[in-house]
Amino acid sequence: MGTYLITGATRGIGRAVVDELVGDDLILMARDSEALGMLCKSLPSARSVAVDFARPQAIGAAIGAAGLPDRLDGIVHSAALSRLGRLAEMTPADWTGQLNVNVVAVAELTRCTLPALRAARGTAVFVNSGAGQRVAGADIGPYAASKHALVALADALRIEEPEVRVTTVFPGRTATDMQRELRVYEGAEYRPGDFMPPGRVARVIADALRLPQDAAIEDIRIVPRH
């Protein structure tokens, strides 16, 4: 049994990762304390840490109060924020909001958990996006910028921390609340069956976490076949 910390644990891919790791020792992190509490009631081996990634400066205190174990087999960075719109419409708050949640908070949580990850020779999984690989299109400039920055963060961590395995997962369009919001913005109908189930991505993440120590998955792109 491993010990894993999962962010964005109450929704989307993060929630699907929780299902994949049922039976392990889980530390679940999200903004919604009520949703976290309800989830942990159904998972006796899980404990919750409620923190708002829009305030990265609060992460250290939240981690300290929760009392992390000395060893952490893995961390899954799944929490993310997307605000759609043209660059001409984006305010500084739109930019800093997405960069704080998608990059700065991820960096701070990684920093806070590094001693435990080093001790276990654990794995850090960064859930990225196709927007972090390709040239950014219209209406997703700040989000794409944050995801490209997340690639740089993962790559730097891989070089600086050789005892920690680093995996970046680039999912294609997945049936999550974020996808629902995107379809509304596009003026199109949201049909979950048109997109990849979050469980498909979660299974890949679980495989990366459980890989024997003599190998690592560094970057992987997973897309729906159709």
Write the CATH number for 85.
Answer: 3.40.50.720
Residue 136: helix, strand or coil by DSSP? coil
Task: Pick left, alpha or beta for residue 85 (phi over 0 → left; psi -120 to 50 → alpha; otherwise beta).
Answer: left
Q: Give the position of tokens 């794409």.
A: 144
Whole-angstrom distance, CA of residue 219 vs CA of residue 10: 25
Summary mean pLDDT of the chain: 90
Whole-angstrom distance, CA of residue 60 vs CA of residue 3: 19
Q: Tell me the pLDDT tens digit for each residue of 87-140.
A: 999 999 999 999 999 999 999 999 999 999 999 999 999 999 887 877 566 788
Orientation angle between helical segments 198-210 and 12-20, nearest 10 degrees = 50
> What is the residue range of 28's domain?
3-222
User: Per DSSP, which regions of the chain are E strands?
Assistant: 3-7, 25-30, 46-50, 74-77, 123-127, 165-171, 219-222
Q: Tell me the pLDDT tens digit for each residue of 146-184.
A: 999 999 999 999 999 999 999 999 998 876 767 766 676
Whole-angstrom distance, CA of residue 149 vs CA of residue 221: 17
Q: Give the position of tokens 């981690």.
A: 63
pTM of the model: 0.91
Given pLDDT bands bounded at 50, 70 and 90, which one contains residue 201?
A: very high
Structural domains of the chain, count: 1
